[in-house]
Amino acid sequence: MQHPPGTTGTTTTPTESARSALLGAAAFLGLFVAERMYFQAAQQTAHERLVDAHRAADTIALADERLTMSAHMVAATGEQRWIKRYEANIPLIDEAIERAAKIAPDAVSKRFELETKVSNDRLVELERQSFVHASAGSTSVARGVLDSELYDYHKQVLADGTQRFVAGTIGAVASDLQRLTWQSIILLALGFAAALTAMLSLWRRLERSISQTDAAYRDGEARTRHLAMSDFLTNLPNRLALRDQLRTAIGDAERDHRQFIVMMVDLDRFKPINDRYGHISGDHVLKIVAQRIAAFLAPGEICARYGGDEFVVISTCWGSPDVKLAQGMKLIESLNRPIVVDGQMVQVGASIGIASYPADGTSEDKLLRHADLALYRAKQSGRGLARLFSVDMDIDAGARLAAEEEIRGAIAGGQIIPYFQPIVDVASRQIRGFEALARWQHPTRGIVAPIDFIPVAEAAGELANLTMSMLRQACIATRDLPAELTLAVNISPQQIQDEWLSTKILKVLTETGFPPHRLEIELTENALVTDFTAAKRVIQSLKNLGIGIALDDFGTGYSSLYYLSELQFDKIKIDRSFVRTLHERSESAKIINAIIGLGRSLGVPTMAEGVETERDAKVLGDIGCLTAQGYLYSRPVPADQLLRLLQAPGAGLKTASAA
């Protein structure tokens, strides 16, 4: 067959065209399948790398926390089992650091090795140095090593290095995903160009593929940004995202002439739950709290996890101060609802500090700082409260920090000492024991009463150290007194939730040679409200040691009868408010009579506080009160006056003036 002139070799048969189209379609299809498989495998690898980075960082943090806890327990007790537990966790953190270094990009890995591994090794050296002192009996020196600035510095370097490792790995993954996406787009574009002459349907396939690739890139980019800006546990915005959102809220409010409030939320009873049930249960509680706060918010409002057990809420609530406080209290009520943890009902509760835009600040730093100051005032006022920021809080902040530093120095320097008030048999006037009461021998202010420094010690987190210091000094001062005399020491609500309390007290008793059966621990019912089950367990462990337990300030709470029925107290102390109004209010005498009758029916002796007159003592004796303490018998005296009280005729307790 002859071709028309000028067309030779320029046309193909329908079969050849079909063959070319099929070959083009097959080539494009093969390219498409290969590209999809490569892209998906690379994307999966990148995300697995990101998950491995988070897992390694979590392992480092967990192992470091276990090492720190073990080191502090060694410093506190000097016991070898804590050293063994410490050494068992060393390989875990070393392996996690080595694994993290392999995951990170080269630049991040080198810095991570230089900073994190070196600081971890230095921490191990310091902790083992602390163990040497603890094993030698120098627990104060051991604790000093763990409280040193060098130790805190390396702890911070380890934490910062781990955070940089995660951030660097996230950035590397994002970069890899972007590179893979562009490579994919280029490959698909080449395939499109090769197959364009084969069939029009190939174009539609390529168009869909490009759309899918672009969607995958956007999805990967969004997930990477979400990981960088979200709290890994609660899925709420993290501290970094909060600042961006707060900056945006300020800009919008300034443009639209609107107001809003920033609420700093701190959980009140989270640490005892964490200590008792473990961090997994603690994480469960934080997730529930985050869900409740999110459910509380109106559309457009923001909640972020600020760190630890602190959250920040940006609310559009505006109006009078009462309206803002009411909003805070509603959120507290929502968080007060019980949470089920390991089959037990627990309550965390919360305190809230509130700062208003623009009245309390026009920058994110000022609003967060002022909300934090208001939160401190709320916790100082008794917890479970909401407080608005006021200018005096900013003025007080500097003085508060100085006071907290001063109280730490006073405890460490032995300036806070026990004074002793006798506990007296009402009928015979004989001394039965002493209650140890804290007094601060201030170098310039003289003797400072506990009402003026106990709240500062609590705010500074030093209440446990203060109590143990008081117990040690009181045991030394009274151990050589007659064996029948008891020693009463008060324990704070926070301490009765500490599952190691009995071990710590036993350690002090052993070191000082003070018999456990002569010690009596006094606690108020406020100490039982936070977590009654945990408190009951601690109380039982104390009683197993032979230590007596007294319920202080009885009659002032709403649930004392329940506690009496559930716990085996060795003494009931009638609150001084009833004794003070004994002769003015007939109800006070009736209440005292009822308390004594209740104690008699339960086989628990009663004791009255605040006895100041002979008339008080007579009425109490007639009613049936067995023991008492108060100014009638003696004011609190320092340790060097105990023998004078005991050696005086009739124990020297005929009149209050003798003291």
Residue given tokens 């069939």 in the structure block: 199
What residues have CB less than 8 Å from 174, skipping those under 6 apart? 220, 221, 224
**Using CA atoms, how far apart are residues 218 and 642, in angstroms rounded to an integer?**
78
Query: 85 is written with which tokens?
Result: 């537990």
Which pLDDT does position 399 carry in this prediction?
61
Q: Judge contact between 224 and 177, C-beta under 8 A.
A: yes
Q: What is the C-alpha separation between 479 and 284, in angstroms, rounded?
A: 46
Q: Nearest 5°: CA angle at 506, between 500 and 511?
A: 130
Q: What is the pLDDT of residue 658?
A: 35
Q: Which amino acid is at 170?
A: I
* Tokens 């996890």 sit on residue: 305
Report the Cα 647 to chain-centroid distance in Å: 49
| pLDDT (0 to 100) of residue 377 | 86
pTM: 0.47
Characterize the bridge pairing of strands 350-357 and 386-388: parallel
Q: CB neighbours of 122 closer than 8 A, spacing ≥ 6?
A: 154
Residue 550 has phi, psi (to 5 degrees) of -115, 140
Question: What pLDDT, on a 0 to 100 scale, did the predictor assign at position 198?
Answer: 57
Please tell me the predicted confidence (pLDDT) of residue 62. 74
List the chain residues with pLDDT less than 50: 1-14, 17, 558-559, 652-659
Continuous H helices in 297-338: 321-335
| Residues in Cβ contact with 549 at an 8 Å cutoff, skipping those fewer than 6 apart | 520, 521, 523, 539, 542, 543, 567, 568, 569, 570, 571
pLDDT of residue 22: 66
The whole-number pLDDT of residue 659 equals 34
Chain-centroid distance of CA 556 in Å reads: 29
**What is the pLDDT at residue 21?**
58
> Quick one: pLDDT at residue 213?
67
Tokens of 590: 């009736």
